[in-house]
């Protein structure tokens, strides 16, 4: 598809702004999730009955750091496309919807100490991640594929969340 680069709105987001839009919200979500989660790990979470497939606590930080970096890079790629590229605005919107749900999960599960609330949020998060992958796929397949490990981890987390709810209800 040929894009007229002189048309209004046809330019990609400028590089510095693209970097800020891609990285700062992801870092903010990571930091907020960490703040609400960290204090609950040795107290509330430590006392929950857990399924046998629960990973060790130390594994979560490197996994999430990697996933957040992949997410930020995927968004950076989408923001590199011309602003008037069909589907770009919807893809960026879906990215931020799933990011908000990602953040909300920490507050629902750890902040409210509610595996049920976490399960409700994570189910919506799975739908939002899938929608983001579909929207990204239409624009940039690499960006879409960068979300596959995230989908896999959140699917696993959904299993764990559901098991925690069942074991502790």
Residue 52 lies in a domain: no
Long-range contacts of 11-19 (CB under 8 A, 24+ apart): 11/82, 11/83, 12/79, 12/80, 12/81, 12/82, 12/83, 13/79, 13/80, 13/83, 18/76, 18/79, 18/80, 19/76
Whether 1 shows a pLDDT value over 50: the answer reads no
pTM tops 0.85: yes
Residue 108 lies in a domain: yes
Nearest Cα to 128, choosing from 103, 110, 108, 163? 103
Q: pLDDT confidence of 5, banded at 50, 70, 90?
A: very low
- The predicted-structure confidence for 25-51, as pLDDT tens digits, reads as follows 999 999 999 999 999 999 999 999 999
Residue 2 lies in a domain: no
Residue 10 lies in a domain: no
Residue 73 lies in a domain: yes
Find all residues with CB under 8 Å of 64, minimum gap 6, and list them.
30, 33
* DSSP letter, residue 13: P
Residue 42 lies in a domain: yes
pLDDT at 141: 98
Quote the domain boundaries for residue 81.
15-47+60-167
Residue 136 lies in a domain: yes
Q: Chain-wide mean pLDDT for the chain?
A: 93
The number of folded domains in the chain is 1
pLDDT at 13: 83
Residue 9 lies in a domain: no
């Amino acid at each position: 598809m040929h894009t007229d680069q002189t048309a209004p709105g046809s330019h990609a987001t400028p590089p510095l702004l693209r970097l800020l839009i891609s990285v700062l919200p992801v870092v903010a979500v990571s930091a907020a999730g960490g703040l609400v989660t960290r204090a609950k790990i040795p107290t509330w979470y430590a006392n929950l009955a857990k399924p046998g497939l629960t990973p060790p606590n130390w594994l979560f930080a490197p996994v999430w750091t990697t996933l957040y970096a992949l997410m930020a890079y995927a968004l950076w790629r989408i923001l590199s496309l011309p602003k008037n590229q069909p589907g770009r605005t919807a893809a960026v919107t879906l990215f931020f919807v799933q990011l908000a749900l990602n953040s909300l999960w920490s507050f629902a599960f750890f902040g409210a100490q509610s595996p049920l609330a976490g399960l409700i949020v994570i189910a919506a998060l799975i739908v939002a991640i899938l929608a983001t992958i579909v929207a990204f796929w239409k624009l940039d397949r690499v960006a879409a594929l960068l979300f596959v490990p995230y989908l896999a981890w959140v699917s696993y987390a959904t299993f764990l969340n559901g098991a925690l709810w069942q074991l502790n209800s």
